[in-house]
Amino acid sequence: MITPIRFNGAAQRARHTERTGGLAAGPGLAQAARGPAGAPPSTLAPLQPVNSLATLVAIQSIEERKAARRRATRRGALILDGLDALKLAILEGRGGQGELTRIAHGIGSTREETGDSGLDMLVDAIELRAKVEMAKRGR
């Protein structure tokens, strides 16, 4: 035989809170609405419209900086991958001409500043290392 589940007071209040969206009427809520010492609720200032153009420009500039960081990170990673492939080609006794072409293509692409000095310096160091390797191979 199945015994019915009986809810205690806490469970009933939790179910009631779920049904009412978290708002439970009670003396605490009414007192909070009146404010301190039974004063009437304060009036709220009307909402002011947000300057939508300024907001959109701000959001766009944040997104542009994020995109620039992603592109710089991807560019640095591609050049590093090319340098790793070149190292493996040299160790295997191949000339590594394809890898040098890939590195040259990575360096030759247009680069933009990200606004993050640490990231820009890191990409500069990666590019310098790639240029040194290319110079050693006569490219």
Tell whether 105 is covered by a domain.
yes
Tell whether 78 is covered by a domain.
yes
| Structural domain boundaries, residue 62 | 52-136
How far apart CA 86 and CA 92 sit, in angstroms, is 10
- Are the C-beta atoms of 127 and 79 separated by less than 8 Å? yes
Tell whether 25 is covered by a domain.
no
Residue 1 tokens read as: 């035989």
Please write the tens of the pLDDT for every residue from 6-53: 555 555 555 555 555 554 445 554 555 555 555 555 566 666 665 677
Tell whether 9 is covered by a domain.
no
Tell whether 108 is covered by a domain.
yes
Tell whether 121 is covered by a domain.
yes
Tell whether 80 is covered by a domain.
yes
Residue 19 tokens read as: 């049904």
Which of 25-39, 81-95, 98-112 comes out lowest in average pLDDT?
A: 25-39
- Are the C-beta atoms of 41 and 34 separated by less than 8 Å? yes
Higher pLDDT residue, 14 or 130? Answer: 130
How far apart CA 101 and CA 108 sit, in angstroms, is 10
Mean pLDDT of the chain: 75
pLDDT of residue 84: 93
Total of domains in the chain: 1
Residue 124 tokens read as: 């500069």
Tell whether 64 is covered by a domain.
yes
> Is the pLDDT score of 128 beyond 90?
yes
pLDDT of residue 122: 92
- Is the overall model pTM greater than 0.85, yes or no? no
